[in-house]
Amino acid sequence: MINSKPAIVDRFGRTHDYLRISLTERCNLRCFYCMPEEGIQLRDKSEFMSSEEVIAIAKTFVDMGIKKIRLTGGEPLIKKDVKNLLLELGKLPVELGLTTNAVLVDKFIDVFKEAGIKAVNVSLDSLDEERFNQISRRNYFQRIKSNIELLIKHGFNVKINVVVIRDLNEHEIPDFIQWTKNQPVHVRFIEFMPFDGNKWDWNKKVSFKEMLQIAAMRFGENRVLKIADKKNDTTRSYQIENFKGTFGIISSVTNPFCDSCNRIRLTADGKIKNCLFSQTETDLLQAFREKKSIEPLIRNAIFDKKKERGGAVDFENDFIKSMQNRSMVSIGG
């Protein structure tokens, strides 16, 4: 049946048809840029969406024109009953994807296939085991690398998400790109972004321009080829001449992509964030439990979206100190 409802549009005319749903705030890693060192406050499970509520709310979004859903966390695969949740969401007429740290991927390969998932994004911030363990505060490197190889073997479209932080892993950019020589992976270098508890400052960021310069120094400027970006892509994509895979840069800080944004974020506790950096949220879960229509809440929340980065024109340190936002793990990757 063709959806006859009007699209979800903000005041700047941007149509929103991509929903990212966080299934849980919990994670089996403790990456410092995502989770504060002291962790996050544990809350009763009643404060979070059940699997049934996730499915029902997702259906409302699909009825309103959502064409793509990506499941995130925390780590989405640790949510109770996630197998059934994946299979039910897989029945919806959308492109279904997943972002994971891949620790548990080997247990879900067949479920992914049955749910129709073709694209899996994996967070991996270093190819050096010791450094990865330092970043993640856990020791799952070998398991994650093995599970990435398993995903590739089974024909999934695999994207590797790398948060680049100065004096930590920026020197690994060429090594990650070299990985794309013989493997059909897409490596995405992500600028370090400010969130609650991750001690962000300008000195730790590596800009879009600098990442490209690092790639050109290693592989030669003429061999770094710009390739076409898809509509609404957050990534500026490139390929080294004659390499199988590709790489891209997500530059939310120094070169944002807000003009073409089509994303809505739904947190694990059922709140809309109309931008990753938004300092306001709209509670859908309470209204849903009170059997109220959540459609007007969705439309109003998106209509009120700021033009750029949640209203943050720049990320000067004084603004960051006063910024009221969640930690990344409680927003959803």
Per-residue pLDDT, 194? 63
Q: pLDDT tens, 73-117?
A: 889 999 999 999 999 999 999 999 999 999 999 999 999 999 999
For the chain, what is the mean pLDDT?
89
The one-character DSSP state at 165 is B
Where the chain has pLDDT below 70, the residues are 1-4, 36-40, 193-202, 253-257, 309-333
Which residues are CB-neighbours of 298 under 8 A, at least 6 positions away?
A: 8, 60, 61, 64, 264, 272, 282, 284
Per-residue pLDDT, 324? 58
Structure tokens given for 222: 């003429």
Tell me phi and psi for residue 161, to 5 degrees.
-95, 120
**Type of residue at 186:** H
Q: How far apart are CA 180 and CA 215, in angstroms?
A: 13
Per-residue pLDDT, 255? 64
Determine the CATH number of domain 18-331.
Answer: 3.20.20.70
**Type of residue at 218:** R
The pTM assigned to this predicted structure is 0.90
Q: Mapping DSSP to helix (H, G, I), strand (E, B) and coil, where does residue 236 land?
A: strand
Smallest CA-to-CA distance from 77 within 115, 125, 33, 32 is with 115
User: Are the CB atoms for 307 and 12 separated by under 8 Å?
Assistant: yes
Q: How far apart are CA 131 and CA 140, in angstroms?
A: 12
Q: Mapping DSSP to helix (H, G, I), strand (E, B) and coil, where does residue 104 land?
A: coil
